Amino acid sequence: MAQSDKRKQSLYFPESMLQEIQQEAARLDRSLSWVMQRAWKLARTDIRKLPSVNDVPDDGPDDERGREED
């Protein structure tokens, strides 16, 4: 069996999103880490379809990365 990489990383979420993730983790009786890893595995194909910062035309307002979304 391959050994898993257990490096720690801090992630920051808006309070409402974190509460929702925590509620789902409790509902599933799983850790936050497990929920986030599953979410990544399920969403990564769609995320890879998003344009990179270099693919977006530079005619709009300042970079909105990190903007809180609904």
- Is pLDDT above 70 for 4? yes
With a CB cutoff of 8 Å and minimum separation 6, the contacts of 43 are none
Cβ(29)–Cβ(39) below 8 Å = no
User: Which pLDDT does position 59 carry in this prediction?
Assistant: 61
Q: How far apart are CA 47 and CA 45, in angstroms?
A: 5
As given in the structure block, the two tokens for residue 9 are: 């990383």
Of the two residues 30 and 6, the one the predictor is more confident about is 30
Q: How far apart are CA 38 and CA 44, in angstroms?
A: 10
Q: How confident is the model over 11-67, as pLDDT tens digits? A: 999 999 999 999 999 999 999 999 999 999 999 999 999 999 888 776 656 656 666
